Structure 1
Amino acid sequence: MNMFQDWPEPIVRVQSLSQSNLKAIPNRYVKPLSQRPNLPSQNHHNKHNPVTAAIPIIDLGGLYTNDITLHAKTLDEISKACKEWGFFQVVNHGMSPQLMNRAKETWREFFHLPMELKNMHANSPKTYEGYGSRLGVEKGAILDWSDYYYLHYRPSSLKDYTKWPSLPLHCREVLEDYCMEMVKLCENLMNILSRNLGLQEDILQNAFGGIEESGGCLRVNYYPKCPQPELTLGLSPHSDPGGLTILLPDEQVAGLQVRGCDDAWITVEPAPHALIVNIGDQIQMLTNSIYKSIEHRVIVSPANERLSLAFFYNPKGNIPIEPLKELVTEDSPALYSSTTYDQYRQSIRTQGPRSKSHIDELRSPR
């Protein structure tokens, strides 16, 4: 599926740059003025800086209760968050804090391994699986201040343990447990999203190719300390290309920012043991823009490394994705032309993250 056998330039690990104690970051990481984060200065809070507004925090415990009112209220909160925010945090989501902590610890250990051990897992643009340091294959592109590890979990035909890290010990077992819980949560949320649209609960899941064929992959983001965080980003603004994203954030170091309705960047402060859920472009297309995929980005820190785990739940690669016929009416005609997730992902892997331009290109001409 991918034309690119290799990266256009030698790969530089951002972690190596960070550890070399450089005072200024290389030009390759310096964003144009308009894209630089406006960071709060250390001494005072400037009111023009990104605001800390709370994205909704939803207690999923309400779904597993006999209290009908609470159940309905929880469904309503999810519906509102999908329509208005595209982002929400969930607590009482069913995943044990122990497993969440173990997953983070395991990956922290991986990123602290000697470079030659990590480089044994170096990835290529052919599949992106493995240890990576850039998105997109454009020569001379301005890069983000981060390294990552990417792997496939579902469908089982794509799962390849040889692409998973072999160290630290037991990491594959932890990963397996973690991804299994993530799939359960995603399937559950897909049913809820369908019901909230007034549809049968398996409609969205079927549009993804059904339970067996839906895709699931994990991207672990590692953001090393940065001497000039005001000049760069850990991850450039983008909306997620896939279906549903579940993020296990770094509770110690905030970094995720979401674009609010007035275009201000809102820093997400993670609630204890919460997961952050966001809608991806495929669900925005399937729901004909009833549910929104929202632009987000990541800022980096001068004093602390940061680690987060993003689990992506995606449609099967070759199924046509277009607005669901149940949601297309005379009053709300289809907003998007048909595409497949494979085609969609290809453009993002070629160009790297570019705001919302990828989904906007598919808008049907009026």
Structure 2
Amino acid sequence: MAEGGNLKCIPVIDMQEMEDVEQYKKLREASEEWGCFRLVNHKIPASLMSEMKKVVKELLDLPVEIKKRNTDVIAGSGYVAPSNSNPLYEALGLYDLGSPATVRAFCSQLDASPQQREIIEAYAEAIHELGIDLGRKLAKSMGLVSDLFKGWACQFRINKYNFSPKTVGSSGVQIHTDSGFLTILQDDENVGGLEVMDKSGAFVAVHPCAGTLLVNLGDVAKAWSNGRFCNVKHRVQCKEAAIRVSIASFVLGPKEAAVEAPPQLVDSQHPRLYAPFTYEDYRKLYISSKFKAGEALQHVRTQNS
């Protein structure tokens, strides 16, 4: 499945073929060379994705006073209003996607109807299960057997970009890497704008592709893999005057345990690059340093790396 005729395309991973050795090799190569890939033939029904997108639009169209009830648990996990740095962007979110009680609380904050609740809860369960499965597959691609993401903190964010004729050519979200391990993105199937940076430093447009999901690897993935995985830099550009809506689910890191490369990924040829750190400490560093494009990892490098 090509990226809309773009000359340079991000890798595509077929979830139905993941028992094939070659597909695991392709997954590892995509993770190391790009830090992102498109998932096709995943288990989340197209009907659920479509219903969730409709609910998301309804929630983002709520009055501001209701959206403000969606408060932070950790910084950036609640309602994000347009700001000076990102004037075209707003979002709603929840922390701990894997907790049914937290998902129900999110629905209550926004006065979600019984039908909306049912869709949100079904989507949250399905995307969380997919995240756990991806963790196993990423570990296996490195020759490890691990329930990598079991018990890890997960975050959920629904995004709205208010693009207008005056903003065409401007930035919707600045260049950044994600602080966690991976992001599963249900992109807007009609409005493009997402761009990822390749190894040469050039930006590659990621065109909409209905029914698929995009996976981006973040800073925790780079540290866990001892530098092998790429924490992809990406941004959102305003390409047309239209409202753009996306749904992002983040697998962040262990809630309490330290992030560190498994012993199997450390040897004389591959010395440990990063000192163990907790995700919470790294998140605070990521926010306070204002280094949003992966530079914060330099602060957790080992002395001999």
TM-score after normalising by structure 2: 0.88
Cα deviation 1:84-143 (Å, max 9, x = unaligned): 11100011011100000111110111122333333343x3585534321268xxxxx633
- Count of aligned positions: 297
Residue number in structure 2 paired with 1:128: 76
CA RMSD of the aligned region, Å? 2.4
Q: How does 1:241-280 map to 2 (within 5 A)?
A: 241-280=179-218
1:57 matches 2:8: no
1:79-118 paired onto structure 2 within 5 Å: 79-118=28-67
Counterpart-to-counterpart distance in 2, 1:281 and 1:158: 28
Unaligned 5+ residue runs, structure 1? 1-50, 65-70, 136-140
**Does residue 1:289 correspond to 2:244, yes or no?**
no
- The alpha-carbon deviation at position 232 of structure 1 amounts to 3.8
Deviation at 1:263, TM superposition (A): 0.9
Counting aligned pairs with the same residue, the percent is 27
Matched-pair contact (CA < 8 Å) for 1:322–1:339: yes
* 1:233 has 2:176 as partner: no
Cα gap change, 1:264 to 1:312, in 2 (>3 Å): same
Corresponding residue of 1:31 = none
The amino acid of 1:333's aligned partner reads P
Which residue identity lines up with residue 52 of structure 2 in the other structure? A
Closer, same or farther: CA 62–187 of 1 in aligned 2, 3 Å:
same
CA–CA distance in structure 2, aligned partners of residues 349 and 119 of structure 1? 21
Contact 1:348–1:358 (8 Å) recurs in 2: yes
SS in 2 for 1:252: coil
Which residue number corresponds to residue 182 of structure 1? 127
1:328 aligns to 2:285 (yes or no)? no
Distance 2:286 2:172 in 1: 17
* CA deviation after TM superposition for structure 1 residue 345, in Å: 1.0
* Equivalent residue for 2:152, pick from 214, 217, 221: 214
**1:63 CA displacement:** 2.6
Question: Does the C-alpha gap of structure 1 residues 157 and 89 become closer, same or farther in structure 2, counting only changes over 3 Å?
Answer: closer
What is the distance in 1 between the residues matched to 2:291 and 2:170?
Answer: 14
Is the 1:145–1:232 contact (alpha carbons within 8 Å) kept by the matching residues of 2? no
Q: How far 1:301 moved relative to its partner?
A: 4.1
TM superposition score normalised by structure 1: 0.75
* Structure 1 residues 311 and 344: CA distance shift in structure 2, 3 A: same
Following the alignment from structure 2 to structure 1, what is the Cα–Cα distance between the partners of residues 130 and 32? 20
Deviations 1:174-233 (A, max 9, x none): 11111111121111111111111111233xx1xx5xx2x211211111101234435642
- Which stretch has the larger CA shift, 227-236 or 281-290? 227-236
In the TM superposition, 1:23-172 aligns within 5 A as 53-63=8-18, 71-121=20-70, 123-124=71-72, 127-133=75-81, 142-154=85-97, 156=99, 159=102, 161-164=104-107, 165-167=110-112, 169-172=114-117
Matches of 1:248 and 1:299 in 2, distance apart? Answer: 17
Cα pair 1:144 1:233 within 8 Å, conserved: no
Change (3 A) 1:351 1:223: farther
| Higher Cα radius of gyration | 1
1:132 is paired with a residue whose SS is coil
Q: Aligned letter for 1:240?
A: D
Distance 1:358 1:172, change over 3 A: farther
User: Secondary structure of 1:347's match?
Assistant: helix
